[in-house]
Structure 1
Amino acid sequence: MKKFFLLMVSGLLLLSSASGQQKSAKPNIIIIISDDHAFQAISAYGGGKLMQTPNIDRIAREGARFNKAYVTNSICGPSRAVILTGKYSHKNGFKDNETSNFNGNQDTFVKRLGANGYSTAWIGKWHLQSEPKGFDFWQVYPDQGHYYNPDFLLMDGSKKRVEGYVTNLTEDLAEEWLDKRDKDKPFCLVIGQKATHRTWIPDTVDMGLFDKKTFPLPATFYDTYQNREAAKVQDMSIAKTMIMGYDLKMFPKEREIADENITRMNPAQRAKFDAYYQPIQADLEAKKLQGKALVEWKYQRYMRDYLSTAASLDRNIGRTLDYLDKHNLAQNTIVIYMSDQGFYLGEHGWFDKRFMYEESFRTPLVMRYPGKIKPGTTTNELVMNLDIGPTLLDAAGVKIPQEMQGESFLPLVTGQKAKGRDAIYYHYYENGEHSVSPHFGIKGKRYKLIHFYKRVNTWELYDLEKDPQELTNLYGKKGYESITANLKKELEQLIKKYEDEDAQKLLAQGAGKAL
């Protein structure tokens, strides 16, 4: 009898151990997606001269930093659609922010996780012009959301306004969901932060954080866009496009401020806002700046607001990490931080994104996966936002749907002998705001070939090794004929691989004849 009892206990222990192993094989997942956060402003990426980002750096230090992470289409709504579906914009149907609505009936990596036992939630910025589908819980901003006292859309169809600063509130709601979730299930939580989207309004506690700092002008700040027609016609410059009131909070004194970002503030918030910005405006008016002096003043003002807004973002990422530590979840939770694309911090004289040039096309991406990714891992392999869904399904042991066009990058950072991409494909469609011409192209390890169409009809070629700032368009230059021809063949192969019929038609209509 005693022997039988010991055997039974032993069996139960084995079952318990197996159950524990099975549970650990299904990691929890948290993805934090910011908006327009430039890798140049992250100290883990060498941005420490601008500001320190200790919490994003912590994820990189305890996991992996991807040095060559890119997006398929550098604009916020399309980027989120790509992340969800693992498919390019022409396949998931959300090509731009002007005409697209996300079809929530299509397959997503979140739906696949849900079907395999995960609790799932999306909280914060959504911006896909339709209600989220396939989540156990969601609470999202209408459209872009607001920095102060934002509205949230609820699952019952109602809307509620919550008092406070949006970055803090989004983290509050994320932690509230984590507290209430089904503790017997692994979870997948997406935290969509508004920061650092235009118009860069900092939390009141961060106003003035960088006022004693003077930021050096980027080397390309006064770029003349020689031999780059698309760059010449854009409308996203600090000098001409950035608005004194809307962007820089220097509103005309003779009329009441009507900007809803400001008018929705409560009296205490508004008092702090006025106490900070009004003396700056008075000083500006006294200086009577003009020409380059005014442009450079605008740049300093932009950087101070942008980085102060990023400070709250990093602080709240720290709150997420602290929550995992406090609740003993850190060891079995994947944490990914990324932006929906890159952003210009004065390079080429610009703000915003959209272009296939590096500052816009490249995005920050760091990932922590205890026990799988060795701390301090870095990779220079080419990865994309397209790969997020397949990577997380791979980590969860869930089969990756054949229609997903991304690839799991897990082997690249878990010590496996794996080869990354030789080249990546990009296609930007929008033809309205900021006057950026639609374009598609290919980036390899050294060269980049871009075709612009509609607004302008041109080709551009860059040697990123010799010209990392992309100032010299080599297209049509003597000596680059074979490089151009080979890139075009590779581009056509990628267009065919990803079944981009729009790009195929453009090439068939003669876009590539000059090559």
Structure 2
Amino acid sequence: MNKKLLSLMVAGTLSQAVSAAPIEAAPAEAAEAQRPNIIYIMSDDHAVRAVSAYGDIIGEMAPTPNIDRIAENGVRFDNSFVTNSLCGPSRAAMFTGKFGHKNGFMYNGQVFDGTQDTWTNLLHDEGYTTAAIGKWHINLTPDGFKFDHWEILNDQGEYYNPDWITKDGVETEIGYTTDMITQKTITWLDSQRDKDKPFALIMHHKAPHRNWMPAPEYTQLFADVEFPVPETYFDDYEGRVAAQGQEMNIYRDAQEGHDLKMTTGVGETEWRKDIWPHLLERLTPEQRAEWDAAYQERNDYMNKNEANWSEEEMAIWKYQRYMQDYLATIRSVDDSVGEVLDYLKANDLHENTIVVYTSDQGFYLGEHGWFDKRFMYEESFRTPLVMQYPARIKAGTVVEEMVQNIDYAPTFLEYAGVEIPADVDGVSMVDLLAGTNEDWRTSLYYHFYEFPAIHRVQRHYGVRDERYKLMHFYFRMDEWEFYDLEKDPQEMNNAYNDPKYAKEIKRLKAEILKLQNQYDMPPMEEWVRAPLRRQRKPRLSELYPDSYDENGKVKVTRPVK
């Protein structure tokens, strides 16, 4: 490569590299000299099975053609995993490339140090313009992050009429949140960013996080669709003590009002038990009338027949309602991805922009009877990941190797020509994507810390290799689980006490110790019995008192621009 172009790729801006390129440079060489733009799109709680690029029946019934476009234009990772299947810790791992015990964010409620090395801060220091739009959910605001522009949702965010936080204050905006995130993203790309610099944009969706409220046009999208009930839906958790104590069962633990939108009786519009009633109360009268009309007939049918249904029939009805709403919220996310891809094509940004679509973790779609995440079982441990970068990644690539969300940071930094910090736990995927990596990892480490807490999933750590998985639930119990994923992919049979696997279990216990040492885990006595120490975070009204009236309500409410 021309040495002048190489130096510009590392130290100069995109525009400098283009202007300095000699006329005789080949198109491929000129493209390589440009530092890539990055759009990192992440949804919250998107199951692998609900992305049609992965070929599952759920994806076929509820397709995601625009997310699939990214895989078709670039790469689909078939074995992508997280370090901790929980929103905040997963985001912290993604930004830093480090496990939670090193980046300081192991469970929700902690305060993340945004001044530490993150890939967005490092790119900003090297001349990138950066922005964050949508769900944040690490700290209240992006303190310490060097974003040139940020518009984020308050905490979990709402599906309708959310509060938006900027450096100038808090305002309520009327509309559907997924659509707003898309609009704000396109506006920033089109008219707010510094077009003399390469850009890195964080675009984070609230959907399809609980409580699964579809957009007005999609409330009845799957109303008449009957999704296949998982074989493990009525799991009794035999041999899995930790699973027996969880509280994330669709037909026992999901809130009938808040989660499943079940009403109090025939002709009624009031939801049943609703632990967070403020979400429904955010709807305007017009939105509420449209919402009630969309669900009335189905809810009346349920209320008329509930007394005659068996427990199993009601459990299946609840599964269908959950799936119908969950998948309908994803349709809006897929629309959003399509708008962004179309914008890149229309504005000559397609070739030199890395576009990633992933989720902060996987999610249960009724497997084992569950919604939510947290466990190291495959459905929540594994996450969708597709990426396109036409200048460098061959269209239609499929990666079978095991990657983890700590690998994103070093990958983006290497593509941008920025030095990767020495303390990063992840590994750059650049050589893997080029087909030149011959020494990739053969095992993954996982650690979940948040207990006691909502859903009552016990603390555990574990290791997974290409065939086997070993987990240790350690806080208020001492239970081991071992699975042969080739013979038992649904993880129904804990084979820890099966003598034929004794050699593999011994090997994986040694592998856990090796990985804990590799990733600088502190001594066991510092974390095995440590209580959760959640830190008090200020209320928004304390940070932005001028944005609130004397009743604690946001002063400014505005329609979508």
TM range (shorter): over 0.9
Aligned residue number for residue 39 of structure 1: 48
Stretch of structure 1 that moved more, 413-422 or 82-91: 413-422
Corresponding residue of 2:13? none
What is the deviation of 1:178?
Answer: 0.9
Counterpart Cα distance in 2 of 1:251 and 1:453: 40
Matched, 1:178 2:189: yes
Q: Structure 1: which amino acid aligns with 2:359? A: S
Q: Is the 8 A contact 2:474 2:528 kept in 1?
A: no
Aligned counterpart, 1:52:
63
Matched with 1:107 is: 117
Is the 1:83–1:386 contact (alpha carbons within 8 Å) kept by the matching residues of 2? yes
Which residue does 2:199 correspond to in 1?
Answer: 187
1: CA distance, partners of 2:31 / 2:293: 56
More deviation in 244-253 or 255-264? 255-264
Question: In structure 1, what residue type is equivalent to 2:150?
Answer: W
1:202 paired residue number? 214
Aligned residue identity for 2:166: L
Instruction: Give how far 1:270 is off.
Output: 1.2
Distance 1:352 1:462, change over 3 A: same
Q: CA deviation at 1:24?
A: 4.2
Structure 1 residue 88 and structure 2 residue 88: aligned? no
CA deviations over 1:37-72 (Å, ceiling 9, x no partner): 001111101133331110011100110000000000
Name the count of aligned residue pairs: 496
Task: List per-residue Cα deviations over 1:354-399 (Å, max 9, x = no partner).
Answer: 0000000000000001021111100110100111110000111111
Spell out the pairing of 1:244-259 with structure 2 (5 A cutoff).
Answer: 244-252=256-264, 259=277
Contact 1:24/1:332 (8 A) holds in 2: no
Asked if structure 2 preserves the Cα contact closer than 8 Å seen for 1:341 and 1:360, the reply is yes
Answer yes or no: is the 8 Å Cα contact 2:140–2:154 preserved in 1: no
Q: Is the 8 A contact 2:355 2:389 kept in 1?
A: yes
Aligned partners of 2:106 and 2:216: how far apart in 1? 36
Cα distance per residue 1:270-318 (max 9 Å; x no partner): 1110101122221111112341110100000000000101110111110
**Are 1:418 and 2:430 counterparts?**
no
C-alpha spacing 1:466/1:503, structure 2 compared with 1 (3 Å): farther
For 1:83 and 1:483, the matched residues in 2 are separated by: 31
Per-residue CA deviations over 1:447-471 (Å, capped at 9, x if unaligned) read 1010002243200111111111111
Q: Which amino acid aligns with 1:185?
A: K
CA distance in 2, matches of 1:297, 1:256: 19
CA distance in 1, matches of 2:195, 2:434: 28
Which residue of the other structure, out of 466, 485, 503, is the alignment partner of 1:464?
485
Rounded Cα–Cα distance in structure 1 between residues aligned with 2:48 and 2:21: 47
TM-score by length of 2: 0.85
Which residue of the partner structure matches residue 224 of structure 2?
212
Question: Counterpart of 1:38 in structure 2: which amino acid?
Answer: A
- Alignment partners' CA distance in 1, 2:31 and 2:55: 39
Q: Where do 1:208-287 residues align within 5 Å?
A: 208-252=220-264, 259-287=277-305
TM-score by length of 1: 0.93
Opposite residue 475 of structure 2, the aligned amino acid is K
Structure-1 residue corresponding to 2:7: none
Q: Distance in 1 between matches of 2:126 and 2:23?
A: 21
SS of corresponding position for 2:286: helix
Aligned to 2:408: 388
Structure 1 gap ranges (5+): 1-11, 510-515
SS at match of 2:470: strand
SS at match of 1:162: strand
- Bigger mean CA offset, 499-508 vs 247-256: 499-508
* Post-superposition offset of 1:175: 1.0
Contact conserved, 1:423 with 1:444, CA < 8 A, in 2? yes
Correspondence list, 1:297-446, <5 A:
297-431=317-451, 432-446=453-467
In the TM superposition, what whole-angstrom CA distance separates every residue of 1:91-146 from its partner, at most 9, and x where no partner exists? Answer: 1111111x311111211011110111100011100001242122111111110000
Give the partner amino acid of 2:483. Answer: Y
CA contact (8 A) 2:475 2:528 kept: no
- Cα 1:507–1:312 change in 2 (3 A) is closer
Which amino acid is the alignment partner of residue 378 of structure 2?
E
Contact 1:32 1:336 in 2 (8 A): yes
Aligned-partner residue type, residue 271 of structure 1: A
Q: What is residue 558 of structure 2 aligned with on the other side?
A: none
Alpha-carbon distance in structure 2 between the residues aligned to 1:55 and 1:323: 13
Question: Is the Cα–Cα contact under 8 Å of residues 495 and 504 in structure 1 kept in the other structure?
Answer: no
CA distance in 2 between partners of 1:13 and 1:154 (Å): 37
Structure 2 unmatched ranges of 5 or more? 1-18, 531-561
Tell me, yes or no, if structure 1 residue 159 matches structure 2 residue 170: yes
Equivalent residue of 1:331, what SS?
coil
- Does the CA contact (< 8 Å) of 2:401 and 2:440 recur in 1? yes
- Tell me which moved more, 17-26 or 192-201: 17-26
Is contact 1:383–1:420 with CA below 8 Å preserved after alignment?
no
Do residues 120 (structure 1) and 130 (structure 2) align? yes
Tell me, in whole angstroms, the C-alpha distance in 1 between the residues paired with 2:21 and 2:342.
33
Task: Give the residue type in structure 1 aligned to 2:35.
Answer: K
2:185 and 2:20 map into 1 onto residues whose CA distance is: 35
Taking only the aligned residue pairs, the percentage that are identical comes to 48
CA distance in 2, matches of 1:429, 1:507: 9
Contact 1:427 1:441 in 2 (8 A): yes
Hey, what's the Cα distance between the residues in 2 that align with 1:216 and 1:434?
Answer: 25
* Contact 2:96–2:117 (CA under 8 A) maintained in structure 1: yes
For the 8 Å contact 1:101–1:130, the answer to whether it is kept is: no
The RMSD of aligned alpha carbons is 2.0
Match of 1:76 among 41, 62, 87: 87
